[in-house]
Copies of this chain bind each other. A is one copy, B any other.
Amino acid sequence: MTGETSPLDARRAALPSSYRLFYENPVVVDHTEGVWIHDAAGTPLLDVYNNVPVVGHSNAHVAERVSAQLRTANTHTRYVYPAVAEYASRLESLFPAALNKIIFTCSGSEAVDLALQVARFVTGKEGMIATSHAYHGTTAATHAVSPSLSRHFVDDRIALVDVPEEALANGDAGEEFARRVREAIATLEARGVGFAGLIMDQVLTSDGVFTDPVGFMAPVREAVRAAGGVFIADEVQSGFGRTGTHMWGFDRHGIVPDLVILGKPMGNGLPIAALVGTEELLNTYGETFRYFNTFGGNPVCIAAADAVLDEIERLDVLANVVATGTLLREGLSATLAAHGLEATVRGTGLIAGGDLTAARETPAESKALVADIVNGLRDRGVLISSTGPRGTVLKVRPPLIFQSEHVVRLMSALDDTLTHLST
């Protein structure tokens, strides 16, 4: 590319159309720090969206640990590198005792793909259940449990369950959710594929962010157990303290899954993810299949992941998430209400969904409103996104070091955006 080509043109020339950009006015990044993304024009943009840099963009401790490791060793798991098992042990200590084995991968997609293989191999069944607007990954097998991306890959081996939105709003959702899961199990059995298991984001992000009432996952978990299936908790969104009260989303609901997916925040941006599970399941799979992931659990990514745990402790991240999260949801509710919008703010900790479905007459109008808010905020230097089956939910999910001053900045920009939209 010559100096005359714009960054967007250079990107279009080199990358295919599968690459999509956020915002009508895309962000060109220059550098990042903490909760700030500085663009090429020198404007600081407040990051209220990214859940990968969980202990802050360009975190110094993570950078130091990774830099030192790069100069020391970066081998693979067919040799012993003691720091890998040391980190695995440290991480396992944060889980219920039954979840005492871990397999490292590069991405959440790889971890989910492997979890599906384990569930299917161990049960001898093929059928999996996911929510009807779930997202769990980009491999062919994980696409099939990601109807939010496309239904192209959803085949007869998959049964989808609608999140019981009304029951959740009324606070008696667990039994209704479990009833729908039992129905889906019956569907899979009727199709002859049998029931291997269920996978569920523990904060139901792409379904629209559903976190309460606490405990509603428990009847679902029991329905899966009763039918002999494997319960896979996807903690890519909810893990590593996102909820504030707990390290893991499943813990907040008081359940113990069979398998757990860890992803995005695990290495603060270094590609590392994992499948955590019971010895019984993972060793049963492992005795028949070796699993070697070239980069999975390499010492450099492990150093990043270990540094993330250091920072979560040092910065008392979970306490910050609880305190800032409360301000965030209160601020969102108050600001949306101040502009006369019929809104429901869901979520816990630093995952919030501002549901504007009822703010307009039709879902299409509500979706347009949400898109206008997202783009309006971006033009005011604040980055959020949208989610939910109809695209009518504001997705607010900042790095976990987000502070009250940042909530104030977000609300000020939201207030200005809404004022501008209503004129």
The interface size bin for chain A is 35 or more
A220 CB within 8 Å of chain B: no
Residue in contact with A57 in the complex, picked from B66, B74, B141, CB distance below 8 Å: B74
Measured CB to CB, the nearest residue on chain B to A30 is: B73
Stretch in A78-86, A159-167, A362-370, A392-400 touching the partner: A78-86
Residues of B within 8 A of A187 (CB): none
Asked if B37 contacts A86 (CB within 8 A), the reply is no
Residues from chain B with Cβ under 8 Å of A114 in the complex: 138-139
Is the CB–CB distance between A107 and B63 below 8 Å?
Answer: no
**A71 CB–B CB distance under 8 Å:** yes
Task: Kindly list chain B residues whose C-beta atoms are within 8 Å of the C-beta of A92.
Answer: 14
* Per-residue contact bits, chain A 127-147, to B (CB 8 Å; 1 contact, 0 not): 000000000001111010000
Question: Are A113 and B101 in touch, CB under 8 angstroms?
Answer: no
Per-position 1/0 for A3-29, Cβ under 8 A of B: 000011011011111111110001111
A78:B21 contact, CB within 8 angstroms: yes
Copy number in the complex reads: 2
A289–B150 contact, CB under 8 A? yes
Is A420 an interface residue, CB under 8 A from the partner? no
* CB of A361 within 8 Å of the partner chain: no
| Residue A204, interface by CB 8 Å | no
- Say yes or no for A349: interface residue by CB 8 A criterion: no
A76 within 8 A of B: yes
Report B-chain residues with C-beta under 8 Å of the C-beta of A271. Answer: 106, 270-272, 295, 298, 301
Q: Tell me which residues across on chain B come within 8 A of A82, comparing CB atoms.
A: 7, 10, 28, 40
Is the CB–CB distance between A16 and B52 below 8 Å? no
Q: In whole angstroms, what is the CA distance A58 to B272 when docked?
A: 19
Q: A277: which B residues are within 8 A, CB to CB? A: 16
A62 contacts the other chain (CB 8 A): yes
A10 touches B66 (CB 8 A): no
A107, B295: Cβ atoms closer than 8 Å: yes
Please tell me if A264 contacts chain B, counting CB pairs below 8 Å.
yes
Interface residue ranges, A against B (CB under 8 Å): 1, 7-8, 10-11, 13-22, 26-32, 37, 40, 50, 52-53, 57-58, 60, 62-63, 66-67, 70-82, 84-86, 88-89, 92, 100-103, 106-110, 113-114, 116-117, 121, 138-141, 143, 149-150, 152, 263-264, 269-272, 277, 279, 282-283, 285-296, 298, 300-301
CB-defined A-B contacts under 8 Å, sample of 8: A10-B82, A14-B89, A16-B279, A17-B283, A18-B291, A19-B286, A32-B75, A106-B107
